[in-house]
Amino acid sequence: MSGMLNSGVGQQQFQRRTQNAPQERGPRQYIKVVPQQQEQVQSSNKSRTMTPYQAENGQMTLNGQESSSMLDWKVQLKLPPVDTRHKTEDVTATKGNEFEDYFLKRELLMGIYEKGFERPSPIQEESIPIALTGSDILARAKNGTGKTAAFCIPAIEKIDQNKNAIQVLILVPTRELALQTSQVCKELAKHLSIQIMVSTGGTSLKDDIMRLDQTVHLLISTPGRVLDLANKGVCNLRDCSMLVMDEADKLLSPEFRPLVERLIGYLPRNRQVLLFSATFPVTVKSFKDRFLRKPYVINLMDELTLKGITQYYAFVEEKQKVHCLNTLFSKLQINQSIIFCNSVNRVELLAKKITELGYSCFYIHAKMLQSHRSRVFHDFKNGACRNLVSSDLFTRGIDIQAVNVVINFDFPKNSETYLHRVGRSGRFGHLGLAVNLITYEDRFNLYRIEQELGSEIKPIPPQIDQVIYCR
C-alpha cells in the first residue's frame, strides 16, 4: 500500500486515517477518497486518475491499482454453479475476449455473469462490439451458439433508462420464442431499471394496450401483434432506434414478410437493424438490399450442423416406428428428448401411444390454446416431464439445456427444417444425439439433406456409447 502514495504528506494522511478506521474484510486495505481530501492527494507526486468510463461507473484507481469498489461488485455476485459439461469448438473457438472488454454498464455485467455466462462465444465476440457502434448486422451462426445474448446484450446496453419510450423492438416468429427471449432479457437486465414487455398473439389485447400506457423500453413481439398495436396507435415506435429480427429467415418468409415491411414504416429512418439466423435463403438478400445500410456481415457457418451432435438413421417400416421408439427409450440415457412429427394429428396420436407405453410425455403444436402451449413449454423447460412430442412449432430458437436427444419420428422434407430440429439438442457447445426414423419413402430426402448440409447421417449401431451424447 505504501507504494501507492509516494509523497511524505500522502503517507502521513494515510497513517492518520487508518489508525481510526475500522478494519475491512480481506488481506488488503483500500482507502476511499472523500471530496474534501481530493485536492491534497492530487498534489502528491503520482496523482489519482479517473477515466470517463470509470467516472460513469464509480470506479477510482490509485496509480493503476483498482479500488475496493471495483473489486467488491464481482465478489458479491450470486453466480450459478459452473457448467462442467464438455463443450465443442462451436462455442470455445474464441479470440479470448472478456465481456468487460466491451465497456458495458457494470449492472449489465452483473446480470451477464449471474446468468452463468463466463466469456463471449464466437458469435457474441463478433456481434456485440459491432452492434454497439450502431452498424446494421447480418449474422449467420449455428443454432445453440449464443445468438440471443449476441443481440440482447448490446440492445440493453444502448437503452436510456431515463427516456420513456420504446427504444428496442425484437421480432421473433413464435410465441414460445418471444417468452424465452423476454426471460433472457429480464435476467440480463435485472440490476437495471429497464422495463421489458412481451406481446404475442393469443393473449389479451386489452392487457397489452394497458401495459403500453406505462413505461416500456424494450418490446419483444411476434410481427402480427405489434403491427396491430401500431395500427391502433397505442404502440409508439417513433423513438425505436434498434430493430432485431431473430430467426430472420422465418420472419422473411411469405407468411411474415409483408407484416415486417409494414411495421418498418413505423420506425425512424435512422434505425439500426440486426438480422440473426442459422439459415439465410435468397429472400433475405432483397430485404437486406432494401432496408439495411452497409450491413456488417458475420458468417460463422463453416459447416451447418453442430459439432457436438451425432446423427444416426434407423431404416424402418411405418408400422414399426412405435416399437423402434420404445427400444430407443429403453436403451438411451435420455435427460430430456424432443420427438418431432410432421402433422398436428400425428403429434397427438404419438403422445398418446408413448403415454400408453408407460413413459412421461407432453405434446405441443400450433393449434393448441395459447395458455395450454405456454404451460407445456414452461413445465417441460423446468423438467416436469422427460419427453415432448412436437410439430415444427418447436424448431425455432427454443433453448432447453437438458435436451440431449432429438428423434425425428417423421423425417422432415427439407434441410432447413432438419437443421433446426436437430439443433434443439447439443445446445451451447454441449453434446447431443439425433436419431431419424427413415421409411422407404424418406430415402431420397435423407440423401438430399445429407448432400445439402454436407453432413453424414450414419446407420444406427446396435449399441450407442453414452460418451458421445452424455458428457
The per-residue pLDDT for range 121-160, each reduced to its tens digit, is: 889 999 999 999 999 999 988 777 788 999 999 999 999 9
DSSP state of 372: H
Q: Which CATH architecture has domain 309-470?
A: 3-Layer(aba) Sandwich (3.40)
Does residue 218 contact residue 159 with C-beta atoms inside 8 Å?
Answer: yes
Q: Which CATH superfamily is domain 89-299 in?
A: P-loop containing nucleotide triphosphate hydrolases (3.40.50.300)
Average pLDDT (341-370) is: 92
Q: Which residues contact 106 (CB under 8 A, 6 or more apart)?
A: 57, 58, 73
Model confidence pTM above 0.85: no
The per-residue pLDDT for range 293-343, each reduced to its tens digit, is: 999 999 876 655 556 788 999 999 999 999 999 999 999 988 899 999 999
CA torsion, points 46, 52, 57, 59, in degrees to nearest 10?
0
Q: State the CB neighbour count (10 A cutoff) for residue 332.
A: 18
CA distance 322 to 354: 8
Q: What is the CA radius of gyration of the chain?
A: 26
Does residue 33 contact residue 60 with C-beta atoms inside 8 Å?
Answer: yes
More confident call, 262 vs 95: 262
Q: How sure is the predictor about 273, in pLDDT bands with cuts at 50, 70 and 90?
A: very high
CA distance 279 to 288: 14
Q: Packing angle between helix 257-264 and helix 283-291, nearest 10 degrees?
A: 10
Ranges for all domains in the chain classified under CATH 3.40.50.300: 89-299, 309-470
- Whether the predicted pLDDT of 28 surpasses 90: no
- Whether the predicted pLDDT of 218 surpasses 80: yes
DSSP state of 80: P
Q: Is 63 left (phi over 0), alpha (psi -120 to 50) or beta?
A: left
Q: How sure is the predictor about 21, in pLDDT bands with cuts at 50, 70 and 90?
A: very low
- Residues making up the chain, counted from first to last: 471
Nearest to 428 by CA among 156, 184, 192, 110: 184
The label of the residue with cell 456485440 reads: 128
Q: Which residues contact 225 (CB under 8 A, 6 or more apart)?
A: 199, 200, 201, 205, 208
| Half-sphere exposure (Cβ direction) of 413: Cα atoms closer than 13 Å | 3
